[in-house]
């Protein structure tokens, strides 16, 4: 019994002094250790390696090497070989050879840093009939993700260290993607009393982002206190911007389509008024604020204004708000019901331009699995939300790469580098360079695939892209040098993959 499980390592490591790791001597870097090395910042101390690394899995991991051949980094320049050992990129060049390495053919493919999703709903604990940390991790790996942030609106709510620590540990046990718990801002997401953010931040889960997502922290005084507290803890508040007094009973974007269909409208101003308010509150608190799922052209203008003032505001956009509009509602199919709602073409166009320009910082999925009975019902009664992890890249290719708004380096920026920066992950969104962690995704830019909801890894199947043929395909995902997904198949949870 080595006693070096993920939780113990996390506790030992948390708050410990940063130690410059000798990258190539990180010999016992099993998945837990590697995770802990980077989780919360401080790298592990050298003596950690003698604690574990004795089991067969650790040995396989330690010696495991991967050689990606003839791949184009960021889709640029001449193809190169990338050699990975001990979870790190250790050599980049041409004609590389490594005995016993696992070979991944990279010809015709694009290598990017693994994607980071700041907005995922994994439904565990509480709604394991729709998604679990295990099934959601598989979906994430298949979508090219190496880190996801699991929102707090579970049952029970992740408003205490018990829950946030559980989510982190369970994610590490599954081992397909780093699952970072998001803590609730307020107790029970009720918007009335601040949750114990400090203890969640100090726990094994080392919570670095807090959100009441699903609900808006609508009381300005509570939001102000949350921002002040977040500043003192150096954590991030992510706001689901929706003034509830303006959206009571709303199920669709307020506009001509909803009026014609007889659906209660959700006005743009309900989002924009909160974005404007929170920008001012963040300015006064000297805090950072992150806007979840920006959905309107007006939000883009407000975020731009706030950034121009030097306010520490960031924003994400979902793939569905880049592609889909409320024209989708004509069928009354509740698979298109989402919060904030699908808006109009002027909004999708503004969001695409803002993402290209860096006004909107990143793409986040708002992956929201729902049971069939919660979606296949009357539109007004259906739950809002749609799957997103496995289709995100393809929607970004469709909306941003094909129209030449982003090149592959831009995709790396909005799906990996910026989200990692926003939450301060130091092992994700890193350059494709020697000495960097091998959190990577290999993409076939020319492939197309047809979405079949029942074949996605999520337990739920509520994808709005059912039967659509989409461009761009994730071929292989690597987490710390381990293959977590390959050719549409996720690795077995809890087992190092590709080892000898």
- Point out which residues bind Zn ion (CB under 5 A): 213, 240
- What is the nearest approach in angstroms of Zn ion to the Cβ of residue 118? 11
Residue with CB nearest Zn ion? 240
Q: Looking at beta carbons only, is 50 or 155 nearer to Zn ion?
A: 155
Bridge partner residues of 126 (DSSP): none
Q: Looking at beta carbons only, is 7 or 213 nearer to Zn ion?
A: 213
Supply 246's token pair. Answer: 């303006």
Supply 223's token pair. Answer: 């939001």
Q: Looking at beta carbons only, is 151 or 359 nearer to Zn ion?
A: 151
Indicate if 366 belongs to the active site.
yes
On whether the CB atoms of residues 149 and 112 are closer than 8 A, the answer is no
Q: Looking at beta carbons only, is 178 or 213 nearer to Zn ion?
A: 213
- What is the nearest approach in angstroms of Zn ion to the Cβ of residue 121? 9
- What is the nearest approach in angstroms of Zn ion to the Cβ of residue 471? 27
Q: Looking at beta carbons only, is 213 or 344 nearer to Zn ion?
A: 213
Q: Which of 366, 374, 427, 444 is flagged as catalytic?
A: 366
SS3 152: coil
- What is the nearest approach in angstroms of Zn ion to the Cβ of residue 339? 6
- What is the nearest approach in angstroms of Zn ion to the Cβ of residue 321? 11
- What is the nearest approach in angstroms of Zn ion to the Cβ of residue 293? 6
Angle between helices 6-13 and 161-174 in degrees, nearest 10: 120
- Determine which helix (DSSP H) or strand (DSSP E) holds 167, and give its type and residue range: helix 161-174
Alpha carbon distance 372, 393 (integer Å): 25
Alpha carbon distance 274, 269 (integer Å): 8
SS3 363: strand
CB atoms within 10 A of CB 253: 24
Supply 184's token pair. Answer: 């609730």
Q: Looking at beta carbons only, is 52 or 365 nearer to Zn ion?
A: 365
Angle between helices 31-38 and 161-174 in degrees, nearest 10: 130
DSSP 3-state helix, strand, coil percentages of the chain (rounded to 5)? 35, 20, 45
DSSP string, 224-243: HHHHHHHHHHT-EEEE----
| Active site residue ranges | 366
């Amino acid at each position: 019994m080595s006693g070096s499980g993920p939780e113990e390592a996390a506790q030992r490591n948390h708050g410990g002094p940063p130690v410059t790791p000798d990258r190539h001597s990180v010999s016992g870097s099993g998945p837990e250790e590697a995770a802990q090395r980077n989780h919360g910042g401080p790298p592990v101390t050298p003596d950690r390696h003698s604690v574990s690394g004795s089991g067969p899995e650790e040995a396989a991991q330690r010696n495991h090497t991967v050689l990606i051949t003839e791949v184009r980094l960021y889709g640029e320049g001449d193809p190169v070989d990338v050699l990975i050992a001990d979870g790190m990129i250790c050599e980049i060049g041409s004609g590389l050879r490594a005995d016993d390495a696992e070979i991944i053919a990279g010809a015709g493919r694009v290598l990017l840093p693994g994607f980071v999703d700041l907005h995922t709903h994994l439904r565990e604990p509480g709604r394991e009939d729709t998604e679990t940390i295990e099934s959601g991790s598989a979906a994430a790996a298949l979508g090219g993700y190496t880190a996801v942030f699991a929102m707090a609106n579970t049952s029970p709510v992740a408003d205490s260290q018990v829950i946030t620590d559980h989510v982190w540990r369970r994610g590490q046990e599954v081992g397909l993607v780093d699952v970072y718990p998001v803590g609730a801002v307020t107790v029970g997401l009720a918007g009335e009393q601040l949750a114990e953010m400090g203890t969640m931040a100090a726990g094994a889960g080392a919570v670095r982002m807090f959100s009441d997502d699903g609900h808006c922290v609508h009381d300005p005084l509570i939001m102000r206190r949350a921002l002040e507290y977040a500043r003192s803890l150096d954590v991030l508040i992510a706001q689901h911007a929706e003034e509830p007094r303006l959206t009571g009973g709303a199920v669709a974007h307020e506009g001509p389509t909803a009026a014609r269909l007889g659906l209660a409208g959700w006005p743009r101003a309900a989002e924009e008024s909160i974005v404007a308010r929170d920008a001012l509150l963040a300015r006064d608190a000297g805090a950072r604020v992150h806007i979840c799922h920006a959905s309107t052209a007006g939000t883009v203008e407000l975020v731009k204004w706030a950034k121009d003032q030097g306010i520490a505001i960031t924003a994400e956009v979902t793939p569905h708000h880049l592609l889909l509009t409320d024209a989708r509602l004509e069928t009354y199919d509740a698979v298109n019901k989402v919060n904030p709602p699908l808006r109009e073409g002027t909004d999708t166009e503004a969001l695409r331009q803002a993402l290209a320009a860096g006004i909107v910082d990143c793409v986040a999925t708002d992956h929201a699995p729902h049971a069939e009975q919660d979606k296949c019902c009357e539109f007004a009664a259906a739950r809002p939300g749609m799957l997103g992890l496995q289709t995100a890249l393809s929607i970004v290719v469709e909306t941003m790469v094909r129209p030449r708004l982003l090149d592959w380096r831009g995709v790396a920026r909005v799906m990996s580098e910026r989200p990692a920066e926003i939450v301060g992950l130091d092992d994700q969104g890193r350059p494709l360079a020697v000495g960097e962690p091998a959190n990577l995704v290999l993409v076939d830019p020319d492939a197309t695939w047809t979405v079949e909801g029942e074949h996605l890894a999520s337990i739920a199947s509520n994808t709005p892209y059912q039967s659509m043929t989409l461009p761009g395909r994730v071929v292989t995902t690597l987490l710390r040098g381990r293959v977590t997904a390959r050719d549409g198949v996720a690795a077995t949870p809890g087992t190092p993959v590709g080892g000898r």
